[in-house]
Amino acid sequence: MSLLDDARAVRENAYAPYSKFAVGAALKTTRGTVFKGINVENVAYPEGTCAEAGAIAAMCAAGEREIAEIAVIADAPAPVPPCGGCRQKIAEFAGPDVVVTMSTMDGAVLQMTVAELLPGRFTVDHMANT
């Protein structure tokens, strides 16, 4: 099963009663472990949490910290990139050359590196003077 297949399968568990916009994400760590995440909405926070953030939280909860690749899928007319907050979270745990695969349910795919997805990202190097 590919990482995109994992994201497609977990997407079925998304909780999106308000937007109806289900998103699934799966990431593989440098150790080869796969973690999955879904978007979750609620009445107090209808925009919800992101699938990518959920997968990253699961990775961290398991004690891992390095993303080797990540895939995101949604039922949209074009591949949906991670939101700005998730781009920064991905950049925190993935090197600039790590590939982010974005896909639609119809099979359209867009791949970008973390550096392409988030140019000028904030890194620990920005805090060198503190």
Catalytic option among 12, 47, 52, 92? 52
128 marked as part of a ligand binding site: no
User: In 3D, which of 94, 105, 104 has the Cα closest to residue 117?
Assistant: 94
Q: Could you give phi then psi for residue 82, rounded to 5 degrees? A: -60, 150
Q: Are 9 and 24 in contact (CB under 8 A)?
A: yes
Judge whether 98 is annotated as a binding position. no
SS3 state of residue 126: helix
Q: Is 12 annotated as a binding residue?
A: no
25 is in an annotated binding site: no
60 labelled ligand-binding:
no
Is 83 known to sit in a ligand binding site?
yes
Whether the Cβ atoms of residue 32 and residue 77 lie closer than 8 Å to each other: no
47 belongs to the catalytic site: no
Show binding-site residues.
39-45, 50, 83, 86
Show binding-site residues for Zn(2+).
50, 83, 86
Show binding-site residues for substrate.
39-45
Q: Any idea which residues carry the catalytic annotation?
A: 52
